[in-house]
A = this chain, B = another copy of it.
Amino acid sequence: MTEISGIAVNGERLWQSLMELAKIGATPKGGNCRLALTELDGKGRDLVVGWMKEAGLEITVDQIGNIFGRRRGRQPSLPPVATGSHIDTQPTGGKFDGCFGVLAGLEVMRTLNEQGIETDAPLELIIWTNEEGARFVPVMMGSGAFCKVFPLETALSAKDVDGKVVRDELVNIGYAGEAPVPSHTIGKYFEAHIEQGPILEAEDNVIGVVTGSLGLRWYDVTVTGMEAHAGPTPMPHRRDALYAATHLMQEVVKIAEDFAPEGRGTVGVVNVYPSSRNVIPGQVSFTVDLRHENGERLAEMDARLRQACTQLSEGRTCGFPVQVELKDVQHFHPTPFAPEMVDAVRQQARERGYSHMDIVTGAGHDAVYMAGVCPTSMIFVPCKDGISHNEIEDAKPEHLEAGTNVLLGAMLAQAGIAKG
């Protein structure tokens, strides 16, 4: 039997593939704009599917455009040990978010081919459709449909801001597959990803052993006051919706700080109406994103937010009443990953001598949905300054190589390496 921890991927080949994919939708600042189901997403898919075929993988595309590439096992009837991620990006996204997970999986396949290694269970590489949710919601659309988090029809009928529909856009880029959703059973799932946060870098660790995901609550908030002319309206007569809303926006941050260190609070989108320089805003709508690894703490954060909305609406926060509407948009409970899968990652990091630490993912990932249907874990590698969803997102080739080695080892250990 081959010693698993002695099998190593080709880090240079991995890096070259990442750079090659990053040319599609490259932005002037060095990032990527490859929004889900655009022509550029289609080109990215074509490139990677070409590589998957060259690696001998058998391709299946399902009705939501998820791509599965299977490497046969010696026991083809076993459910596959899978890995994957996504290649769509944010409007000002980077080269690594998602792409690393997909191309790490590809590099695993290439390495096994090169070294003539067979596994007992089949292996599978998955490209999930529209993980980012930047163009179409729900986010994590492909994995969500696969894991029956929402009906396939919800995903297929989603529209972008221009009214274009997922169903049609899949056809346009040639990825409206025929396989049902879900098409088959996955045995186990690993996902490699850049951390998208600063912790590994700050702690000088190469591998993050991901033990689970933060719970998340998304809201849309609308504050309605009274629009009026900015000049003639004395301050005591105003019901400035923006001034009122800024108190809630600050409260979102304060709530997260009060639930340190795992609390997170973000206002990402703000729309002011009527948006004129000399008109006091009559209405402000904004998004709220709250996260915590503990479901009870997250519920407490939710309660704090609701209380702040009530206080604001009653005029107790800024001295005048406003209407406050809080709409629930999404709610993910904290998800602990399967202990044996987490152990598999930790063991590979240890055996290969990579510095590592346990970590919780604050971001949503396809793996978070997969954890609901099969044993799942993730492998994190550091990204520069913890920055992601940004064109300057960066990661070191040696860290990406280390993460891919851990992925390879963990997959082999779970799939069973064929006795030579």
Using a CB–CB cutoff of 8 Å, the interface residues on chain A facing chain B are 90-92, 133-134, 139, 195-199, 202, 214, 216, 218, 226-237, 240, 242-243, 246-247, 249-250, 253, 256-257, 260-261, 263-270, 272, 274-282, 287, 289, 291, 361-364, 386-390
Contacts and interface: CB of A to CB of B under 8 A. Distances in A.
Contacts of A242: 249, 267-268, 270
12 contacts: A133-B278, A202-B237, A214-B231, A218-B277, A232-B388, A235-B263, A242-B270, A268-B272, A268-B275, A268-B279, A268-B281, A278-B389
Contact of A276 (B91, B257, B279): B91
Given A195-B232, A227-B390, A92 B268 contact: no
Given A199-B234, A227-B389, 19 more contacts: A133-B277, A139-B278, A196-B232, A197-B228, A214-B231, A227-B387, A227-B390, A228-B389, A230-B268, A230-B291, A232-B363, A235-B257, A240-B266, A242-B268, A243-B250, A246-B249, A269-B277, A274-B389, A282-B390
A269 B276 CA distance: 6
B264 A230 contact: yes
Most buried by B among A257, A277, A287, A361: A277
Given A234-B199, A246-B249, A280 B268 contact: yes
Contacts of A266: 230, 240, 278-280
Copies of this chain present in the complex amount to 2
Nearest to A360: B232
Contact of A198 (B199, B230, B233, B388): B233
Given A229-B389, A243-B253, A256-B235, A268 B277 contact: yes
Nearest to A282: B390
A386 B264 CA distance: 41
Nearest to A248: B246
Contacts of A363: 229-232, 278
